[in-house]
Amino acid sequence: MIDWLIQAFLLSSVLLAFLVASRKPLVKWLGAKGYYQMWWMVPASLVLPLLPLSSLSNNDLFTYVVNIDAAVKSIDQALLSVAEAAAIVWAFVAILLTVLLRKAHASFLKSVKPLPEDEENKDAIRQLASAEFAKLDIFKSHHITSPFIGGIIRPYLVLPAGFTQDLNPQQRRLVLEHELQHLKQGDLRWNLLAQLLLIAFWFNPLAWMAFGHFRVAQEMSCDESVLAKQDKTTRVLYAKAMLSCAEHNTRPYLNIVSYGVKREMKSRLQHIQTMRPSSLGKSLSMIAACLLILTTMQFAIAGQEKGTDDIRPVHRVEPLYPTQAAEEGIEGSVVVKLDIETDGSVSNVKVVDAQPKRVFDRQTKIAVRQWRWEPVPQKVEGVLIQLDYVLDKDSETKAGLIKGKEMEQIAVEAND
């Protein structure tokens, strides 16, 4: 998990920095929809570290030999590593953020009330009489100044209490079309995914900054869809409706699609003035180019982090020296072949050679089955390791039992 977080952190940070820094030129060239589509690359970049871009084989070189004075203790006796401690901190903060987010959302939902079908709201309800909005539960709230749509499985619409008084009928229609566009674009699901990624990468300040830019891109994309075929007068009415909704800033909730937040207004109003149609072809070309660059970077990162000189077991259990062999002064070596699973665990441990036969085999297999490697992109089969059993720490390292094969050799010293 930590290995994936590190690689995903590096790739996503590069992509997020690009999307944040290049927003204005990308919106100008691709349009708001095209820029919004560029954000699809963020989850794609997080999948790249999981792809089998590199692998080990039984011909990989294990060039180091463990000194007998540096025998590794059992897993149960080992202290928490830095990676394990970091994983605990990461999980704690991620769970805390999730709980706080759920609590805030539940608290807000308790404050909303069903929209009454009285004279004041008849016009608003009439404007919702479309196939898309007919399926929505409609509520009102005194805690917001702009409408929004929420809910993944069962979407709902929340209107501000003064919705019919603050906006004229045409403005209400435009604002509600904007909310409907969020449904058409699948923004509720994208927002949920964005929140989950933000929680997973809470330690990255760039992720928090990028989340705001993502939301602005989302809002501008809806603006563009609503105003695509509207004249200048309608655009002015729409802009005034946006400003009216933003007059009183409300507490933002990460898990809802918010319409009209003050910090978004400048970007959205500027885009309305200079809006041009989005180009799907340009968007796809840019996405393909960025994914190609990210894939190349992933090859480089995987090559650096998974080079054969750096791949070592992260946990080793020292085999016990057989009592009878120690009493009789017997030394020897055992060669085992094993597979490394993607999570770093060991499987299919087999003795392929031993000198002398069947003296050290059992203790070797018991110990090696408890070893653990760093996670690898795909299963590695047929890794050879030689364990040398020596009575004296000054004994010379024994030659490899299997000629022509490079393998890891580990010295095992008898206990006094």
The CA radius of gyration of the chain, in Å to the nearest whole number, is: 31
Indicate the average pLDDT of the chain: 75
Distance CA 319, CA 362 (A): 9
Give me the half-sphere count of Cα atoms (radius 13 Å) on the Cβ side of residue 84: 8
Q: Let me know if 32 is exposed, middle or buried by CB neighbors in 10 A (0-12, 13-18, 19+).
A: buried
Question: Is residue 1's pLDDT more than 80?
Answer: no
Question: Is residue 91's pLDDT more than 50?
Answer: yes
Give the residue extent of every domain in the chain.
Answer: 65-72+311-413, 80-278
Counting residues of the chain whose pLDDT is more than 70, the rounded percentage is 69
Question: Is residue 31's pLDDT more than 80?
Answer: yes
Q: What is the mean pLDDT of residues 86-99?
A: 91
Residue type, 215: R
H helix and E strand count, the chain: 15, 11
pLDDT at 7: 76
The residues near 386 (Cβ < 8 Å, ≥ 6 apart) are 333, 334, 335, 398, 400, 401, 402, 407, 408, 409, 410
Give the SS3 label for residue 143: coil
Q: Which tens digit of pLDDT belongs to each residue from 246-283?
A: 665 554 444 443 434 556 677 787 777 777 666 666 66
pLDDT at 201: 92
- Residue/partner pairs of 284-287 with CB below 8 Å, 24 or more apart: 286/26, 286/30, 286/34, 286/38, 287/37, 287/38, 287/40, 287/41
pLDDT at 175: 87
CATH of domain 65-72+311-413: 3.30.2420.10
Distance CA 62, CA 307 (A): 11
Question: Is residue 2's pLDDT more than 80?
Answer: no
Question: Is residue 410's pLDDT more than 90?
Answer: no
Distance CA 90, CA 97 (A): 11
Counting residues of the chain whose pLDDT is more than 90, the rounded percentage is 11
Give the SS3 label for residue 159: strand
Distance CA 133, CA 174 (A): 14
Q: Which tens digit of pLDDT belongs to each residue from 348-382?
A: 999 988 888 988 999 889 988 999 888 877 788 88
Cβ atoms of residues 316 and 373 within 8 Å: no
Backbone φ and ψ of 59, nearest 5°: -100, 0
Q: What is the mean pLDDT of residues 100-112?
A: 87
Quote the DSSP letter at residue 345: B
Q: Which tens digit of pLDDT belongs to each residue from 142-191?
A: 888 788 888 888 888 888 887 777 788 888 888 888 888 898 889 999 99
Q: Which tens digit of pLDDT belongs to each residue from 19-30?
A: 898 888 888 888
Q: What is the mean pLDDT of residues 383-390?
A: 85
